Structure formats: structure tokens, C-alpha cells
Amino acid sequence: MSVIVELEIAAREFELGRVLTTGQTGRIEMETVVPAAERAVPLFWAYDGDAEGFESAVGDHPSVDNITMVDSFDTRALYAIDWDATSDHFLSAVADNSGAILTATSAADRWLFELRFRSHDDLGAFQSALEDAHVPIDVIRVYNPTTPDAGAWYGLTPAQREALMLAVESGYYDIPRTCTTVEVAEELGISDQAVTERLRRAIVNLVENSLVVAEESRQDERVDSTTGP
């Protein structure tokens, strides 16, 4: 049965983090990692930064062969980089232990990852590989999305529940909207960016621990009804 781990890692502790930490952009959010032969080509969004300076800094990194802007909007741009991932112990440990990156977002000099592994054994092997490589991580929580025991909060952390409840009660999701994330952030005493990320993760947790579970239960019931006793 699969298991999901949420963790934080300092940008300096893995090669891709070092590549993308330039001081020329704001938040970075990984879109996906596309395998290309023996190399990995990450696609990622860079927000609110100096695009020219960011591209120059990343392109000058010794691990990077090429950086390409795939698409751009007012406050963000989508990039692909062709790079040498052989020295990235963190991403290698994910791949070597049948892990998948669900989400990856940078905040200042730290990255927040959601990783899915096929089993607790694979997760344990991943953690052991990082310990052997002396790569420190901070595990936030580990849970199984298909059989959550999260109770009435449906997998939400206390901070996520507080932010989501405040946003709903303040009218952030009303039409028309009667408050902004800036106002929610001021009430919580955190940054606007932190509120946006906390709300996003709260909604993901709610869906994974309620709608996804319900759909899988219905599918199991259909199978049982067709196969019979």
C-alpha cells in the first residue's frame, strides 16, 4: 500500500536546490521531472523574479548544460533545464526506491516536498539512503492517502485547518471575494505567500483524504458486485 511523506530539505543539501537557488527569483514550483535517456529534465515554474538574471545564474551553474523558457506569463515563467543529476543524492534516493515527486516548492532557502512511495519499506530505504549520503531532511508527516486515519480533519494539519477555516469565514472563497490572502495572512501573522501555499496544501489534503478515498471505495464496491461471492 502506498505511503506519502511530506518533508523539508535545505536547498544547499541537494544539487537541484543548489542549481535553482540564485537570489534572482521568488518561489519555485516543480511541475514534473521528465526522464531523458540517463538524464532528468525538470520542468518548473519561477515566480516574481528577474527572468534574465535567473536564466543567466542557472545557466552558469557547472551542472547545467542548458536552460530553456517554455512559457511565460505576467508573474511566472515555465523553464526546462538539461543538467547532470548524477551528484544529486536526494533525487537519486527518490528514484532508486520507487518514489515519485507529487509536489515540490521552494520557500527562501528551503524546499517542501510531497513524495509517494509504494510501501513503508521503500520509504524506509529512501531515508536510509539519505542517512548514508549525509543528506539531512525534516519529515513533517507520513500518511497513507487511501486509508487515512485523520478523523474529522481529513488529513489537515492544525495550521492548514486554521488557515482554511479563516479563509472561508472571511469570504475569500465567496463570489465576489470579500477578503484577500493578504488579509488572511495578517490575521495569522504569516506571509501572503505562506498563506497561499498553506491553503493549496489544505485543499490537496482534503481531496486526497475524502474524494479520492470515496472514489476508490466505490470502485471496490463495483468490483465486488460484478465478481459476486
87 grid coordinates: 551528484
75 grid coordinates: 508573474
Q: What DSSP character marks residue 209? A: I
CA of 181: how far to CAs of 22, 65, 213, in Å?
27, 38, 29
Predicted pLDDT at 100? 87
Predicted pLDDT at 223? 44
CA 229 to chain centre: 42
CA distance 81 to 89: 18
Scanning the chain, the segments in alpha helix (DSSP H) are 15-20, 51-59, 89-96, 120-132, 158-170, 181-188, 192-206, 212-227
Residue at grid coordinates 497561499: 196
Provide the edge-to-edge strand list for the sheet that holds 110-117: 64-72, 76-83, 39-47, 28-36, 100-107, 110-117, 3-10, 138-143
Among residues 87, 92, 106, 57, the alpha carbon closest in space to that of 67 is found at 57
User: Can you give the pTM of this predicted structure?
Assistant: 0.61
Among residues 154, 149, 169, the alpha carbon closest in space to that of 201 is found at 154
Domains and their CATH numbers in the chain: 3-143 (no CATH), 151-227 (1.10.10)
Among residues 78, 137, 112, 100, the alpha carbon closest in space to that of 200 is found at 112
Scanning 106-191, the segments in alpha helix (DSSP H) are 120-132, 158-170, 181-188
**Helix, strand, coil % (nearest 5) of the chain?**
45, 30, 30
Angle at 65 between CA 43 and CA 19, to 5 degrees: 60
User: Which string of b and e fits 190-201 if b means at least 16 CB within 10 Å?
Assistant: eeebbbbbbbeb
Peptide bond before residue 176 is cis, with ω within 30 degrees of 0: yes
Predicted pLDDT at 2? 81
pLDDT tens for the 229 residues of the chain, in order: 788 888 999 999 998 888 888 666 678 888 766 544 455 667 888 887 778 888 888 888 888 888 999 888 878 888 888 888 788 899 889 989 988 888 888 877 889 998 989 888 999 999 999 999 999 999 888 877 654 444 445 667 778 888 999 999 999 999 999 999 999 999 988 888 889 989 988 888 777 766 654 444 445 444 444 555 5
